[in-house]
Amino acid sequence: MVRQSSLVVVANRLPLDDNAAPDGACEWRRSPGGLTSALHTILEQTPATWVGWAGGLGPAPALPDIGSLRIRPVALSETELRGYYEGFANSTLWPLYHDAVEPPVFDRDWWETYQAVNVRFAQATAEVAEAGAAVWVQDYHLSLVPRYLRALRPDLLIGFFLHVPFPPPELFMQLPRRIELLRGMLGADLVGFQRPQAAHNVAQLAAKLLAAQSTDDQITLADGRQVRTGAFPVSIDVAEMQSLARRPSVVTRARQLRRDLGEPRRVLLSVDRLDYTKGIEHRLTAYSELLRDGRIKVRDTVVVQVAVPSRERVDSYRALRDRIEGEVGRINGEYGRVGEAAIHYLNQPFDRAELAALYRTADVMVVTPLRDGMNLVAKEFVAAREDGAGALVLSEFAGAADELQDAFLVNPHDVDGLKDTLLRAMRAEPADLRARMGAMREHLRGHDIIAWARAYLTALDDSGRLANQLPLAGGPKARGAAAKARAIIPRSRSVARRRPPA
């Protein structure tokens, strides 16, 4: 018999992966991506079901519960992975929604597959949702699920949250299937975004394409159904990052990292998925020009660029990797010396403790996306700086810039401005940095991931029924989860490896 839940979260990815721990167990997957990072904390402690793709190809594996969380895997075939995930989601919608910084690809066959996979997610969700349940659909991969689900199960309360930006109407209008896509999302009762501008864009489009009556917080469709919209900026597990950064082993590791880097005066750090939206090339140009102009020296200033592999079978990602690795090689070749690299480039995933140590090591955290829904890395850096030191250089095109106003805000397209800002951050007085960091940390304390989920779920259902299932913000349950770094499931029941064969 199918077990049903009163809260169902639907996301492309499940938080599980066959990570092959030394003891043969499989760990919670903390995939390098904002969505699973964000939802992990909340769901680990909430009675709910997570519907998602288990990362492999072919039939979905049977997966056990994880704590109070039930897992409902959805299968994808090789053709579906190409058409739905790599194609329509990540070669059409992803670039289109990120200001078309890479040209979006419009391929008619992908649309068919995207629809079919969204139907499958909706059907799986309909099976596991109990009568009157709340369903929270996540992100651009599943834009059509709210509408399909409403048709299957009109009794459900349906929320949709978009983790990425929603583009201005003039860009969205390029999408051949714009009407279906908009209708799909607006199948929800509540559509949440990272920034208020996104809700404004959708309101304009609903009026234009669907003849809806819209304001920035409510859309009344032609059939009279009402959809609420709003901004709910996502956040991180602040308690977890703080407790990690405080660990003596992490503090020691941070000191060690600094020694390994040759005790430079300034360490500049960036941590990104290797994605063309992250502005990695722009910051390499800025750094290289600062070296060329003699405004900084390799011995004094070292760059650490963590760029974790991402979507590696998509052409634009492969091409980006080649360009970046070529440029890193050129800069190191031109400005490095034996034992003194200009850039330490790390194309690998790290565990949370190592990330915390890296954050503690940095004098300047450089976050320069050309467009980003939020950017959780910026928030993680702030949460990790228990010592109150360190500077954050942050692109004004990241959602996080709305909240972290005490960062050194920058337009990454303006390379001269970026160079000047990097120097300002490197040379800032410790008292100035402390004041900025203090203000940003204060903001994060009141706006962690649990506060985000609470705000969204309360807006979805103001009886408090859903929000009351969540752990308390920064409270004992949250700290307990932080201490418990992983949940073990038996290896024999673990899922197929995440990355399909190239």
Q: Which of 15, 32, 52, 83 binds ligand ADP (CB under 6 A)?
A: 32
Decide: helix, strand or coil at residue 471: coil
Q: Residue 139 touches which of ligand F6P, ligand ADP, none (CB < 5 to 8 A by kind)?
A: ligand F6P
Q: Which of 141, 163, 200, 282 is catalytic?
A: 163
Q: Residue 377 touches which of ligand ADP, ligand F6P, none (CB < 5 to 8 A by kind)?
A: ligand ADP
By CB under 6 A, tell whether 253 contacts ligand F6P. Answer: no
By CB under 6 A, tell whether 380 contacts ligand ADP. Answer: yes
Stretch of 19-27, 30-38, 240-248, 286-294 lying at the interface with ligand F6P (CB under 6 A): 30-38
Q: Which is nearer to ligand F6P, 375 or 494 (CB)?
A: 375
Q: Which of 34, 55, 56, 399 binds ligand F6P (CB under 6 A)?
A: 34
Asked if 200 is an active-site residue, the reply is: no
What is the smallest separation between the CB atom of 90 and ligand F6P, expressed in angstroms?
Answer: 6
Stretch of 27-35, 263-271, 289-297, 355-363 lying at the interface with ligand F6P (CB under 6 A): 27-35
Q: Which of 363, 372, 406, 448 is catalytic?
A: 372
Q: Rounded CA gap, 487 and 66, in Å?
A: 7
Q: Residue 482 touches which of ligand ADP, ligand F6P, none (CB < 5 to 8 A by kind)?
A: none
Q: Which of 182, 284, 355, 418 binds ligand ADP (CB under 6 A)?
A: 355
* DSSP β-ladder status, 213-214 and 218-220: antiparallel
- From residue 307, how far is each of 124, 280, 324, 386, 406 by CA, in Å? 34, 9, 10, 25, 25
Determine the Cα angle at 308 with ends 303 and 314, to 5°: 125
Q: Rounded CA gap, 453 and 459, in Å?
A: 10
Q: Rounded CA gap, 249 and 360, in Å?
A: 12
- Residue 309 DSSP class: -
Q: Which of 8, 93, 157, 374 binds ligand ADP (CB under 6 A)?
A: 374
Stretch of 34-42, 105-113, 281-289, 341-349 lying at the interface with ligand F6P (CB under 6 A): 34-42
* DSSP assignment string, 77-93: -HHHIIIIIIIIIIIII
Q: Which is nearer to ligand ADP, 37 or 421 (CB)?
A: 37
By CB under 6 A, tell whether 184 contacts ligand ADP. Answer: no
Q: Rounded CA gap, 116 and 2, in Å?
A: 23
CB 8 within 8 A of CB 131: no
User: How many other β-carbons are positioned within 10 Å of the β-carbon of residue 119?
Assistant: 16
Size of the site for ligand ADP (CB under 6 A): 16
Closest residue (Cβ) to ligand ADP? 34
By CB under 6 A, tell whether 264 contacts ligand F6P. Answer: no
Q: Which is nearer to ligand ADP, 111 or 161 (CB)?
A: 161
CB 164 within 8 A of CB 97: yes
Cα atoms found within 13 Å of the Cα of residue 123, Cβ hemisphere only:
8
State which H helix or E strand residue 9 sits in: strand 5-13
Q: Rounded CA gap, 239 and 488, in Å?
A: 21
Determine the Cα angle at 94 with ends 448 and 311, to 5°: 90
Stretch of 154-162, 325-333, 370-378, 402-410 lying at the interface with ligand ADP (CB under 6 A): 370-378
By CB under 6 A, tell whether 349 contacts ligand F6P. Answer: no
* DSSP β-ladder status, 213-214 and 129-138: unpaired
By CB under 6 A, tell whether 80 contacts ligand F6P. Answer: no
CB 209 within 8 A of CB 182: yes
Q: Which of 183, 311, 352, 360 binds ligand F6P (CB under 6 A)?
A: 311
User: Looking only at residues 146 through 175 of this chain, which bind ligand ADP when binding is defined by CB under 6 A?
Assistant: none
Q: Rounded CA gap, 406 and 382, in Å?
A: 11
Q: Residue 194 touches which of ligand ADP, ligand F6P, none (CB < 5 to 8 A by kind)?
A: none
Encode 455-470: b = buried (16+ Cβ within 10 Å), e = exposed.
bbbbbbbeeebbbebb
Q: Residue 349 touches which of ligand F6P, ligand ADP, none (CB < 5 to 8 A by kind)?
A: ligand ADP
Q: Which is nearer to ligand ADP, 32 or 184 (CB)?
A: 32
- Token digits for 10? 């639907």
Residue type, 264: P
What is the smallest separation between the CB atom of 468 and ligand ADP, expressed in angstroms?
Answer: 27
Q: Rounded CA gap, 306 and 273, in Å?
A: 8
By CB under 6 A, tell whether 41 contacts ligand F6P. Answer: no
Asked if 163 is an active-site residue, the reply is: yes
By CB under 6 A, tell whether 377 contacts ligand ADP. Answer: yes
By CB under 6 A, tell whether 278 contacts ligand F6P. Answer: no
Residue labelled with tokens 């690809």: 105
216: phi then psi, degrees, rounded to nearest 5: -75, -10
Q: Rounded CA gap, 108 and 305, in Å?
A: 37
Q: Residue 13 touches which of ligand ADP, ligand F6P, none (CB < 5 to 8 A by kind)?
A: ligand F6P
By residue count, the chain amounts to 502
By CB under 6 A, tell whether 194 contacts ligand F6P. Answer: no
Stretch of 17-25, 33-41, 245-253, 292-300 lying at the interface with ligand F6P (CB under 6 A): 33-41
Which positions touch ligand ADP (CB under 6 A)?
32-34, 37, 271, 273, 306, 308, 349-350, 355, 374-377, 380
Question: Which residues of the shown chain bind ligand F6P in the complex (CB under 6 A)?
Answer: 13, 33-36, 139, 163-164, 273, 310-311, 373
